[in-house]
Amino acid sequence: MDLVDLAWTTRYPRTTDAEPEATMRFRNGTVTATAVTDRARGVLIQHGFTSTKATREYTLPAEFGESDAVGAVVCAESHLYTLGASVRVDLGIPTLQDIPPAPARRPATPAAPSPDQAHRRSR
């Protein structure tokens, strides 16, 4: 499976800036999720996510391997999509907007020719 297909940057542009009903994130070997609505909470729980102490926050159990974690995210994302819920999957890969611009360079000032070079050219 190509993980790029899960990335929010590959989805059609959203028509609103509203927070998605569910956001799933891959970070440092763990998968976390945030659910804004009851239907998103139900779908996340149905696909193996467990509630954390933080409100609206969920995580996949540590014993899930990489393949199981990706499978759970794919199933939850597809399920939410079929219900018409907005979903964002963050793979933890920086996008162009996340990379700061390089510092501006000062224009290079050409070095003045040495007196010997200037003298040779005039002959």
pLDDT tens for each residue of 70-121: 899 989 998 998 999 988 888 877 666 667 777 877 776 776 766 665 555 5
The confidence score (pLDDT) of residue 83 equals 93
CA distance 123 to 57: 80
Query: Which amino acid would we find at residue 91?
Result: L
In terms of C-beta density within 10 A (0-12 exposed, 13-18 middle, 19 or more buried), how is residue 45 classed? Answer: middle
The residue that leads in pLDDT, 54 or 45, is 45
